[in-house]
Amino acid sequence: MTLRELAVKLEGEILTPDVNLDTEVPCAFSSDLISDILMCTKESTLLLTGLTNPQVIRLSDMIDLVGIIFVRGKKPNAELIEMAVERGLPLISTSNTMYMSSGILYHAGLRSCKIK
Amino acid sequence: MRVCVVARLSNIMAEYLKVNPDYQDRVKELFENDTKPEITLEFEIEEHDFINSGKGSAELKLTIKRLGVDPAIMRRIAIAAYEAEINIAAHSRGGAMRSNIFPDYVHIVFKDMGPGIDDLEQAMTPGFSTAIDLVREMGFGAGLGLPNIERNADIMKLDSEKNKSTQLDVIVFFQ
Ligand SMILES: Nc1ncnc2c1ncn2[C@@H]1O[C@H](COP(=O)(O)OP(=O)(O)O)[C@@H](O)[C@H]1O
Ligand SMILES: [Mg+2]
């Protein structure tokens, strides 16, 4: 599944239209805790989160994120979107909750990232 | 990985040291090393600055990447450094990180301006956190930062006392 396909399934809004959305997404992880995200993502991962502060983009400097889905209608500000564009990091916002979004993607065949 | 405590003053631990057994014999030499690093990077970290915190770790990761270090090791360095940077921003009055890059390892020193850590054993316990709401709202304060640093470092030394500055040394080998 690509980010573009996944955005459709989540009825999501693409916040970074100029960033490539056609890369395959290998796996995903959902969390609002930065330390958890750092600890659990050992491979290229899609992140689902409710966090919209700049540190969520900073995270992608440390670990390999293929994109970020902001759940429950959360939308980051323009500055944060700019930070993501600079890094070529795709951002999508969906009105679905974290639980719903994760369920929809899991049901569509997107596996959980390996946490060990 | 083994943990050894090297100093205990009364009942309060003044220093917490964790060493990957592979490097046990080198600890003394590493901390007394006065050879000049190939590269030194320095960053200031201000109290509650969650805009700029993390830049130092990102820059360090880029520098190490250019040296051709294995991605898995690069990741460990970035995560340990980032958690330490965030701790300075979240829990101290501000401080600095200095990364000394040698041919086969990086030694990062984080030093802040207090208020220090009361009980090191408690601070190292997964889940323990004194983070204020502002910090928690940003996704920090799970009490997993120091344990995460310990997991990713080959050598970690945390040196602090109440009402003193905190110094954290992180060493990661490139092989
Ligand atoms: N540089 C520091 N100065 C003062 N206290 C610190 C520092 N770093 C960590 N601590 C203390 O140790 C606790 C645990 O740290 P950590 O494991 O990183 O979890 P968290 O940052 O999520 O609280 C912190 O809540 C804080 O009380
Ligand atoms: Mg922390």
Per-residue pLDDT tens over the stretch A65-99: 999 999 999 999 999 999 999 999 999 999 999 99
Task: Output A116 or B112, whichever has higher pLDDT.
Answer: B112
Residue B41 lies in a domain: no
Concatenated DSSP letters for A31-90? -S-HHHHHHH--SSEEEEES--STHHHHHHHHS-EEEEEE-TT----HHHHHHHHHHT--
* B1 pLDDT tier (thresholds 50, 70, 90): very low
| Rounded Cα distance, A98 and B7, in Å | 45
Residue B39 lies in a domain: no
Q: Quick one: what percent of chain A has pLDDT higher than 70?
A: 100
Residue B108 lies in a domain: yes
Predicted structure pTM score = 0.94
Residue B13 has pLDDT above 80, yes or no: no
Residue B38 lies in a domain: no
A-chain residues near B143 (CB < 8 A): 35
For residue B139, the distance in angstroms to the closest alpha carbon of chain A comes to 5
**pLDDT single digits (tens) B83-105:** 999 999 999 999 999 999 999 99
User: What tokens appear for B116 in the block?
Assistant: 């220090």
Q: Choose, out of B45, B49, B51, B150, the residue to mutate when testing the contact with A (most A CBs < 10 Å).
A: B51
Across the range B13-39, mean pLDDT stands at 92
Residue B40 lies in a domain: no
Across the range B16-35, mean pLDDT stands at 93
| Rounded Cα distance, A35 and B144, in Å | 6
CA angle B45, B147, B53 (to 5 degrees): 15
For residue B115, say if its preceding peptide bond is cis, omega within 30 degrees of 0.
yes
Contact criterion met (CB < 8 Å) for A38 and B82: yes
Task: Write down the pLDDT at residue B9.
Answer: 46
* A42 pLDDT tier (thresholds 50, 70, 90): confident
Task: Write down the pLDDT at residue A40.
Answer: 86
Domain total in chain B: 1
Residue B12 has pLDDT above 70, yes or no: no
Nearest C-alpha neighbor of A45 from the set A62, A29, A32: A29
Q: What are phi and psi of B5, to 5 degrees?
A: -100, 125
Domain encompassing residue B130: 4-31+46-173
User: What tokens appear for B170 in the block?
Assistant: 């992180």
Residue B37 lies in a domain: no
Residue B150 lies in a domain: yes
Q: ipTM value of the model?
A: 0.94
Residue A18 has pLDDT above 70, yes or no: yes
At B88 the three-state DSSP class reads helix
**Could you tell me the CATH number of the domain that includes residue B11?**
3.30.565.10
CA angle A37, B136, B50 (to 5 degrees): 80
Neighbour tally for B62: CB within 10 Å: 13
Residues 6+ apart with CB under 8 A from A56: A34, A47, A49, A68, A76, A80, B139
Residue B36 lies in a domain: no
